Structure 1
Amino acid sequence: MQWYFVAALLTILTSSQGILTTLSQSNGGYKYDYATVPFLAEVFKLIVSSILLWREYRKLPNVRMTTEWKSVRLFPIPSIIYLIHNNVQFATLTYLDTSTYQIMGNLKIVTTAIFFRLFLRKKLSTLQWMAIVLLAVGTTTSQVKGCGAAFCDSLFSAPMQGYMLGVVSACLSALAGVYTEFLMKKNNDSLYWQNVQLYMFGAIFNMLRLLLDDFSGGFEKGAWWQRLLNGYTISTWMVVLNLGSTGLLVSWLMKYADNIVKVYSTSMAMLLTMVLSVYLFNFKPTLQLFLGIVICMMSLHMYFAPANMLVDLPIPTKVASATLDKISVEQRTDS
C-alpha cells in the first residue's frame, strides 16, 4: 500500500501547485522570472537524489549503478520531450482560450493509457479501459461552464491549429511519462542513481533555455545567473519546493507503480484544486463540478477495484464441474 500513500501525497502536492503559483503573484503578475523556477526545482531534485544516493551507497556498497554510455545516453530524451512539450503548450495557448485548453489537456489521460499499452506492453482489462475513458469524461465535465456563459459560444470556435496542437501536446506529455517509466524499470539500478541522471540532464536543458532567453533578449536584464533570485518570496520558494517534491514522488511511482496511478493522482488533484478554490478564491461551485467529481470517483473505483467487486463473474468451468462431482458423490453416499 506504499504506492497508495505516495499517490495520495502526490495528489495533495499537485493540487497545491496552482494555488501556490497564484499566491506568488503580485498585482496579477510575476516579479520573478518564472523560467528560473523549473531550473531551481531540477537542481533541488538533483541535490536531494545525490544525498539519498550517497546514504544508500554507505549502507549498501554494492548498490547497482549502470554507468555504461549506452544506458546513460537514454536519460536526456525525456528532458528533450518535455522541452518540446513546453513550447507546444505556449503555441497552443495562442489559439485556444484557457478553458478549452484545460479540456483539451484531458486527452493526455487517454493517450497515456494508449502509450502505456503500446510501448510497455501492459494489458488493461475492458473495465480499466472504461474507467480511463470515464475519468476523461469526468474531468472534462467538471470544467465545462454553464450554457449561460460566453464559453458556450467559443467552445468549438477556435482555429483547427489549436485543436491539433492540443492533441500533439497530450501525446508528448504521455510519451514523456511512459518513456520515463520505461527508463525507471528497464533495470534494477538504484532509484536515486536513475534520478541523478534524469535531473542532471533536466537542470542542463533548463539552464540552456535560460541562456537562450538571454540571447534572444540581448542580455537587457543581465545574465540569468545575476537575476536568478530576483523577486523571490516565501511563496515563490514554496512553488520551487512543491515542484521538486512532486517530481521526486512521480519518479517513485514510475519505479514501483505505473503511469496510470500518476494520471489518477493528477486528475484528482485538478478536482481538489477546484474545490479548494471555493474557499480560497471565492470560486463558485457548479453542478458540473459536482458531477465531475462523482464520475471521477466512480472511475477510480472501477480501475483499481477487483473485477469481482464490480460485476458478477461466471463460475469457472473447472470449479463448476468439481462442484457437480461433489454433489453427485454426496447423493451416492446418502443412497
Structure 2
Amino acid sequence: MNRTEQDIRVVAPAKVNLILKVLDRRPDGYHNIWSLMHTVGLEDELRFRLSPRSTGVRLHCDDAALPTDGRNLVSQAASLVLERAGLPADRAMGLEIRLTKRIPVSAGLAGGSSDAAATIAGLNRLLGLGWSPEEMARVGQAVGSDVPFFFFAPSALVRGRGEEVAPVTFTGERWVVLVHPGFPIETRWAYERLASTRQAVPPLSPTLRGVAGRTSFSWDDVVPLMENDFEEALAQTHRVLREIKEELLSAGAEAALLSGSGATVFGVFRDKASAGRARASVGRASGRRAYAVHTGGASFQREAHSSPASPSLAGRLTRNPPFRYAPLSGQSFDSRRS
C-alpha cells in the first residue's frame, strides 16, 4: 500500500437509463434487468480525509434528510474498502467524509450508488490500493446493484442484477434535461407496482436482442429505442410523470423517458440552447427541480482481457471510472458542519 495523499475530492455523476427492461424475478428476490445506461453531468461531490487522531468512519452531509450512519451507502462502501484493505474502520485510522448532494434522492438517477462507487474509487486512490475497475466493481456489487456500472462508465449495457456490465461507446453528443417532480419514488414500491400491472414478463424484442452484442452506438441509433418498463405503471399512479414527459416533447426533446424507477423524467436534446429553454419552461411548475446537463463522459481505452478476474464484470472496453479527483491540501475541510 502506497499512500501518497492524505485528502482527496471526488466528483460522482448521475446516470440515466436510456433503455430499461425489467425481466424475471431471481431466487434471491431481486429482478434481472437489461439496461443501457449513460452518465450525465449532474454530480455530487465527496471529500475524504485520513485522520490519525481518530478512528472509524465519520460521514457529514449537507442534506439533513440523509442518514450519515451505516444506513448510508457511502458509509457502507468506506467500511467495506477498509475491511478488504486490511484496515478495519474501528481500529486502523479515522476517515472523515464530507458529501455535498446535488443529485436528488430516490430519483432514478443512482445518486447513492454513484456516491458509493466514488467512495470506493477515491479510497482506492487515497490509500494506494491499486485495485482494477473489476476489483472495485466486485466491492461495489456488495453495496448496491447499480454500483458496478460506474466503474465502466460513461456508458454500458447492464444485465443480471447489475453485476454484468459491458461498456459501450457513444458517438455524437447530446444534452439532457432532468426534471424531478418534487417527490421520491421508493424502488421497492416501484417494483411492486410494476408487478401488479402486468400479467407476464415480456421477452426482449428482436431489436433489443440485436443490440445486445454491440460495443458502439450513435445517439441517432439509440433515441428511437428508448423505453422503460416502469414508466406506464408508475404514471398510472403519478400522472405528473406523463405530464412532464409530454411537456419535454413539446419543448423539442427528441425523446423523453422516466429514468430508473423514478421519479425523474428526462428529455434528450441536440444542443445546449434548446435544452436550456426546455429546462426553463418545464421546470417552472411548483415543486419541480430541473437541470440541463451534458452527456459527455470519461475517457476510455481499448484493452484486451486475457484472464478476467470476473467474467460478469469484464467488459469489452476498459476505461477509467468517470470520477474526477483533486487533492484538498490547503482547502478547508470543516467537519463540524453536517
Judge same fold: TM > 0.5, yes or no. no
Select the structure of larger CA radius of gyration: 1
Q: Report the structure, 1 or 2, having the larger helix content.
A: 1
User: Normalised by the size of structure 1, how large is the TM-score?
Assistant: 0.26
Bigger strand share: 2
- The structure with higher relative contact order (CA 8 Å, sep 6+) is 1
After TM superposition, the score normalised by the length of structure 2 is 0.26
